[in-house]
Structure 1
Amino acid sequence: MGTQATIPARTGTRLARSAATVVVAVAVGLVLAPGTATAAPTNPSDTQLSQAQQAKADAAEQVGALSAALAAAQAQVDDARAESAIALDTFQGKQAEYEAAQSAADEAAAAARRARDDLAAARADLADFARQSYLQGSTSPTLEALMTAQGPTEMVERAALLEAAGAHQGSVVVQVSAAEQQATAADLTAQTALAQAATLEQQAADALAAAEALEVAARQQAAGLADRQAAVQQQLEQAQQTLLGLEGARAAAEQYAAQQTAAAARAAADQRATSHAVSAGAVTTAGAGSSAAAETAISAARRWLGTSYAWGGGSLSGPSVGWGIDAGVVGFDCSGLTRYAYAQAGISIPRNSSAQYSSLPRVSRSDLQRGDLVFWATDTSSPATIHHVAVYLGDGQILEAPESGSRVRVTAMRWSGFIGGARPSA
């Protein structure tokens, strides 16, 4: 674990701080202006990209250093586990030796008990011999027995018997001496076996305790390393995501700029066409319109309440995949929703909001009715600055696809920036 401890803590702190700074910068840059159909993604500065690249490099360097530390520490873990296994094996061996020694001690104790019993019996025989000798007044009754014989034949018989008795009494003395020696030896063997068994038992207990301690330490060390590795890996992934986010933001900003240039060109063309139409008297005031068509369009739009806003999303058949800053998001943008809604009523209107405004019969604020389209512009005197369209529901409410990151909703009518209305059903 010494290798791991040498990794500078300042590296992780600097990495986390750099990543956090870049993430905040990106988050601020990608906030969309409320009430607009689209908002230009902020192009990250070269400094932000450089900081993100450095954060990623710092994280990669820390991961590399930690990987080396992890390898060394893992070797220590493996060694500790090997020592634990050896200690456990030693315990098992000592336990077997202890059990064998205990059996030997039990056998020695039994032999000692038998020797003591034999000694007691021999001593009893010796005491009986001594007592008989005392009662007869001599420890050698041979002469008395021969002298009291009634004849030669009886004397011969008594001599044979006395010879046998003398031999027996001699063996009793020998047996007592041997029994004493055996008893002493058996006691010594039993004591030695018990002492050996106690020693082995303690050795077994010590070996088991060592095995347990090594195993616990190894497990704790492995768990700590796993946590450390996960934390540093997460830092690296965060740095990588931050850098990718900035790179993606720059690409989106560049793409958006190109799209805006093209859109500006189209808007200029639409403005020229609108101006020409106005001068020729082509702009008309809407008539009563078809309430059935308006209600069909409203119903079609309501079906998609809660659907994600997707920049450039929405087709004649429903939601579609957005592009640019909403690449991959399935949903509607503002004009995509209004075009879809009136397509379900059998009425075809242009795709973008400024073209819808310029091509449809106009409605003033005082004449708005359910189903009319309402438009907002940054300059209410210039249709070329129209940026949002919604469906008017009456009673001061609209149905709209508001902005990137939000969902199709019903909300209150906003009069600030309102440039006018149009009636597709007229």
Structure 2
Amino acid sequence: MHSTRTPRSPSRTLVAATGLVAALALTATACGGGDDDTAGGSGSGATATATVTGGGGDSGDGKVRLPAGVADKLKRHGIDVDDWAEGGWRDWGKDKWLSAAKDFVNPMIEGLWKPERMKSAKEADKTVTAKDAAADQGVSDPAPEPVEAVAEKTPYHENAAPVGKVFFDSPEGSMVCSGTVIKDVNHPGKSDLVWTAGHCVHAGSGGGWYRNIAFVPAYNDLGESEEQLRDATSAEIAPYGNWWADWASTSKEWIAGGSETGGAGAAYDYAVLHVTPEQGSKSLEETVGGALDVDFSAPSASEVASMGAWGYPAAPPYNGLKMFKCLDRPGRLSLSPALPTMYRIGCTMTGGSSGGGWFRVVGGRTKLVSNTSIGPSDNTWLAGPQLGAEAEAIYRNMSRTYGGR
């Protein structure tokens, strides 16, 4: 995408970025308790599960674990649970592709996300056109200069423990995004919540919920190459296991207006997952040793000196195996006068980084303030939604209703 750029002071950007790097000790910061963490009762979500045994192959090891009530929900929509593990989930017919917020279902198929299947997943990209990005230049700031993405230090669990990859199946095949472990205000120290993009869980207008959604924290923890991972075991590529989403929530604006290029839902392109381990019983936060608070104050871009975006870019020149980050001073991006302004930073990360958290330092603590949503076809910048009251309502409902599962 071609656009007019206004040069910025290199020294100013460097100072801000350097300060953010020093403060963004994601693991250390995340391990402490949050200021607004409160003790709370368990959620109202059902905890009973049922196991259905089917075939193996690409559908996994043949065991499907269902939260209570899911089998009945599938049956109401004409979906045979017994066929699900045999590959019935591949039926994306309009009558089988559930779309409404209340209709989310994601039965766990044990063994489905094997190392090779993870490595073959394609990036879930949202690219805006030059026309889209120039829709409201009276509000948008000039496009930022590109910021070269920098590889995160390894092992990831010591440098960016809350960051990981989100895998899912779509009508186009297996796909991948990025995500972040976030704190649960009603279950301090024992969160099972993950923040990502709406387009990583739901196709938006005219589509429905994706399937087989799973989160893998600290994916490829040692940052090994494709050659080194040729015969990698599950423990090497997913050291903290696979965590399946037993519930997901995204904005009503994304469901109604999201599209392949972001669309009218881009400014609301965020989602929260509640996950459960494929193996084990500890919470996600206890397992990875960290989680981040979410900043819902939606500060204007002019109030923020620096933001950092983390993720696993998968489109060339990246291959999705390593974690990268970009640090920059944010500007404003407006796609329409009727939509909230989005944050925009210079960054060369490509598709696959979608859903990855954007972090800033608030009172000496690192908090998630946005997530990667859209970018141009020339991969020079990224944009993410401001997280205000609508996003906080989704988060608090997830914590209240599903956090105690």
TM-score, normalised with respect to structure 2? 0.20
Larger relative helix fraction: 1
Q: Which has the larger radius of gyration?
A: 1
Choose between structure 1 and 2 for higher RCO, CA contacts under 8 A separated by at least 6 residues: 2
TM-score, normalised with respect to structure 1? 0.19
Larger relative strand fraction: 2
